[in-house]
Amino acid sequence: MEEVVEIDTLEKSLLENNDEEEEEVLYAASFREMEKNFVKYQTVTRPVPFPCFGVLHKEKHVLLHSVADVVVEQGYLQSLFGVYSLRIENVGVRRPPSDDVKILGVANPNAFRKAVMMRLSNIRNEIVSRQVATLEDASHSGEMLLLQKLEEIGSSVKRMQTLLEEQQSQATESID
């Protein structure tokens, strides 16, 4: 209990304005004299760019068929302003995430993501249909090649048959 009373009196004495009792200043310290020895200033003569003073243009191109995914992210500060970040991930196992494209400040990211993914899906479907068509063409051309070879074999067999018939007819004539 004594400690509480002692703390209260100390607090009151600190908070009270003691203009009546001015204490003598024993030593006034200042670092102005020693400032040159301890504080180093670095002056820059070239202009320093600040992104808040203008528009920063940065272009990065990604081939659409190399897009693996479009990731929508929103940080705390972005949620206050209602904007999102988009990260476009590229196809490739060994590529670092710094190679991905990041777009900041997108108001409607789901529409952008949907448009990119639908276009990517259409491109991939076209590629698959082309591959299927070339495989079908290759199988048709294989069938045509097989038919052509069979026709060649058939004509060779007919020529051999006619040659054999001629030999047999010559053999029968020579016997007669």
Rounded Cα distance between 26 and 31, Å, is 17
Per-residue pLDDT band at 39 (split at 50, 70, 90): low
Q: Write the pLDDT tens digit of every residue in 94-103.
A: 666 666 788 8
Per-residue pLDDT band at 19 (split at 50, 70, 90): low
Q: Write the pLDDT tens digit of every residue in 85-94.
A: 888 888 775 6
Per-residue pLDDT band at 162 (split at 50, 70, 90): confident
Residues with Cβ within 8 Å of 106's Cβ and at least 6 positions away in sequence, in order, are 83, 84, 85, 86, 112
- What is the per-residue pLDDT for 99? 65
Residues with Cβ within 8 Å of 120's Cβ and at least 6 positions away in sequence, in order, are 64, 65, 67
- What is the per-residue pLDDT for 18? 58
Residue ranges per structural domain of the chain: 2-28+31-38
**What number is the average pLDDT over the span 21-47?**
72
Whether the predicted pLDDT of 1 surpasses 60:
no
**What number is the average pLDDT over the span 151-172?**
84
Among the listed ranges 42-56, 60-74, 153-167, which one has the minimum average pLDDT value?
42-56
- What is the per-residue pLDDT for 58? 72
Among the listed ranges 103-107, 109-113, 115-119, 144-148, which one has the minimum average pLDDT value?
144-148
Whether the predicted pLDDT of 16 surpasses 80:
no
pTM: 0.41
- Which residues in the chain belong to E strands, given as ranges? 67-73, 84-90, 101-106
Per-residue pLDDT band at 21 (split at 50, 70, 90): low
Whether the predicted pLDDT of 73 surpasses 60:
yes
